[in-house]
């Protein structure tokens, strides 16, 4: 949710973005899972080495104050729809609350409407039933795992193919599972490269590579983990950094392929991470407070590198930007005119003026974060001020689950703390008591935003999932077999009895 943009500001945007609008570049989007802003050597990490990502960063327009959601499925839905995840009915990452509103028009659908072919490789996590999958949401090619991660499975609709591991996973390629060979990240990049090679030059493409790495469980290739052994990091961080090293190598190989194919100058490459840091935070967190799953800047600040050789001049852009801005930007670059209904849907701004001139004038805005994840079946209203945040260019108003003991006045009522992030980027000094007028104004915008969510935020709150994960059911149908003891425990008694009876007859 953002403040209204003045007509003069809109006119300025239109003029500034005229050169890029409708240029129809290929779009190569790389999104990592649980890598934090500090998990990059170019950002000052003292141990992790990421030479290829550093090179990509150096060749890009770098949005250094780029906000995402506190967790993964919410960020993914905001990118696909250009609006806050709660407006998509996404308030969690499991239990049907990760399903993206089927009425929302995705960026993939918008790009497809102006001649793009779209492929996704890796993680989707916006609904595992057929009607929610990428091929039902504007993608021509899908090569994905299920659930929120390889091997993950939860009661209801959210789950991956049975028994999947990071090595040799079974992946859903369009409508059939394929048993792959190799490490998951290598598999996704290799398949993406194969697809790009097949479609390049025929029409513009949107290639969406979303790795499940370096999300836990932290399992790296032995040769990648070995690079970080003996540094007193602990097994999880050794594997975590090893997983990022593998991503770094794959990014380098794919960038070399763009050059080899002769399409680098017509391809916009965007690299992002989906939420705050995890296993690497204890080593380096770029001076930020908070991590994944929190409303602090450490939980919601992401890398956002935009590389387009010969078109974009590499530079830092410190303007407050966000994941919801991706939609309108890509649509503008593609020359897509949004329908009246889609205009109402898309809350984000067009980043083209900043891509052309990183120091361009940019009107202040208000962005909202909330970790969601309240207990299913409970009233979401009770969670209104539980782990939430309001952000402007200068201020960050944050509410933790419990009010801080030192909070006073209006801030104390809901546990709100205020930080001047320009003067105090590490969020170390709560100034709520010194700036009551700022707190009051930001709380008013938050209240109005929260009230506007009714009918959207509750879309999936009472949803009942299928008795079996659709990925598991389709996998067993294709390859035979059935649920194991753990799977049976997740089912309702009648469904479990049915499978046991079938098994006894074989």
Judge whether 129 lies within some domain.
Answer: yes
461 in a structural domain: no
Residue 462 lies in a domain: no
Judge if 279 and 428 occupy the same domain.
no
86 and 105 co-located in one domain: yes
User: Do 307 and 167 have their domain in common?
Assistant: yes
pLDDT-derived band of residue 490, with 50, 70 and 90 as boundaries? low
Query: What pLDDT does residue 402 have?
Result: 61
Beta bridge mates, 31:
210, 272
pLDDT tens for each residue of 233-288: 999 999 999 999 999 999 999 999 999 999 999 999 999 999 999 999 999 999 99
As a whole number of angstroms, the distance between CA 380 and CA 378 comes to: 6
Tell me the per-residue pLDDT of 129-146, one tens digit each, with 9 for 90 and over: 999 999 999 999 999 999
Identify whether the C-beta of residue 128 lies closer than 8 Å to the C-beta of residue 158: yes
Peptide bond into 217 cis (omega under 30): yes
Same-domain check for residues 149 and 174? yes
> What CATH number does the domain containing 105 carry?
3.40.720.10
Q: Which of 327, 356, 385 is the last residue of a domain?
A: 356
Residues 216 and 247 in one domain: yes
99 shares its domain with 55: yes
Q: Are residues 103 and 175 in the same domain?
A: yes
Total domains in the chain come to 3
Asked which of 356, 381, 416 is the last residue of a domain, the reply is 356
Q: Is residue 8 included in any domain, yes or no?
A: no
Whether residues 400 and 499 fall in one domain: no
Kindly report, residue by residue over 290-341, the tens digit of the pLDDT. Answer: 999 999 999 999 999 999 999 999 999 999 999 999 999 999 999 999 999 9
* Alpha carbons 411 and 145: distance in angstroms, whole number: 43
Q: 462: Cβ–Cβ under 8 A, 6 or more apart, which residues? A: 377
Determine if residue 95 is left, alpha or beta; phi over 0 gives left, psi from -120 to 50 gives alpha, anything else beta.
Answer: left
Do 311 and 425 lie in one domain? The reply is: no
Q: Identify the band that residue 120 occupies on the pLDDT scale cut at 50, 70 and 90.
A: very high
Residue 486 belongs to domain spanning: 470-505
- Domain assignment present for residue 5? The answer is no
Same domain, 215 and 346: yes
- CA end-to-end distance (rounded Å), the chain: 56
Check pLDDT > 50 for residue 82: yes
Domain boundary among 298, 331, 356: 356
Does residue 464 fall inside a structural domain?
no
pLDDT tens digits for 198-227?
Answer: 999 999 999 999 999 999 999 999 999 999
Do the domain assignments include residue 12? no
> What proportion of the chain, given as a percentage, has pLDDT over 90?
87
Angle between helices 235-261 and 51-58 (to 10 degrees): 50
User: For residue 374, what is the domain's CATH number?
Assistant: 3.30.1120.10
Residue 408 lies in a domain: yes
**Nearest C-alpha neighbor of 133 from the set 117, 157, 150:** 157
Res 4: pLDDT? 40
Same domain, residue pair 161 and 262? yes
Estimate to the nearest angstrom the gap between the alpha carbon of 96 and the chain centroid.
Answer: 18
34 φψ region: left (φ > 0), alpha (ψ -120 to 50), beta (else): left
> Does one domain contain both 343 and 481?
no
């Amino acid at each position: 949710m953002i403040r209204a943009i003045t007509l003069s500001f809109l006119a300025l945007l239109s003029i500034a973005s005229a050169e890029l609008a409708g240029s129809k570049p290929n779009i190569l989007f790389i999104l990592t899972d649980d890598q934090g802003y500090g998990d990059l050597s170019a950002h000052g990490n003292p141990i992790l080495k990421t030479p290829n990502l550093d090179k990509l960063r150096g060749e890009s327009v770098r949005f250094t104050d780029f906000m995402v959601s506190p967790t993964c499925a919410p960020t993914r839905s905001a990118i696909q729809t250009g609006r806050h995840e709660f407006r998509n009915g996404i308030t969690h990452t499991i239990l049907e609350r990760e399903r993206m509103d089927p009425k929302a028009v995705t960026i993939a659908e918008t790009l497809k409407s102006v001649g793009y072919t779209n492929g996704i490789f890796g993680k989707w996590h916006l609904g595992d039933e057929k009607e929610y999958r990428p091929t039902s949401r504007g993608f021509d090619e899908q090569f994905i795992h299920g659930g929120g991660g390889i091997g993950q499975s939860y009661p209801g609709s959210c789950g991956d193919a049975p028994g999947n591991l990071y090595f040799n996973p079974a992946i859903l390629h369009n409508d059939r599972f394929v048993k792959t060979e190799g490490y998951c990240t290598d598999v996704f990049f290799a398949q993406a490269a194969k697809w790009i090679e097949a479609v390049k030059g025929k029409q513009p493409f949107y290639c969406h590579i979303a790795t499940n790495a370096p999300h836990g469980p932290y399992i790296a290739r032995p040769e990648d983990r070995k690079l970080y052994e003996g540094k007193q990091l602990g097994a999880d961080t050794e594997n975590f950094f090893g997983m990022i090293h593998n991503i770094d190598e794959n990014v380098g190989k794919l960038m070399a392929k763009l050059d080899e194919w002769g399409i680098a100058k017509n391809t916009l490459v965007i690299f992002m991470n989906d939420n705050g840091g995890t296993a690497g935070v204890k080593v380096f967190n770029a001076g930020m407070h908070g991590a994944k799953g929190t409303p602090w800047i450490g939980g919601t600040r992401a890398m956002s590198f935009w590389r387009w050789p010969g078109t974009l001049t590499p530079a830092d852009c410190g303007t407050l930007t966000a994941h919801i801005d991706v939609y309108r930007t890509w649509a503008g670059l593609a020359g897509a005119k949004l329908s009246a209904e889609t205009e109402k849907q898309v809350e984000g701004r067009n980043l083209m003026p900043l891509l052309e001139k990183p120091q361009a004038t940019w009107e202040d805005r208000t962005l909202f974060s909330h970790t969601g994840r309240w207990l299913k079946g409970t009233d979401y209203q009770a969670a209104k001020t539980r782990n939430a945040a309001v952000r402007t260019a200068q201020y960050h108003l944050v509410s933790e689950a419990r009010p801080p003991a030192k909070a006073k006045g209006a801030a104390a009522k809901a546990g709100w703390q205020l930080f001047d992030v320009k003067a105090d980027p590490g969020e170390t000094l709560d100034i709520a008591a010194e700036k009551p007028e700022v707190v009051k104004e930001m709380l008013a915008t938050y209240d109005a935003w929260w009230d506007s969510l009714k009918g959207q935020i509750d879309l999936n709150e009472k949803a009942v999932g299928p008795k079996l994960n659709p990925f598991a059911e389709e996998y067993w149908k294709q390859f035979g077999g059935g649920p194991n003891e753990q799977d049976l425990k997740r089912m309702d008694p009648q469904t479990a009895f049915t499978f046991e009876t079938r098994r006894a007859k074989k």
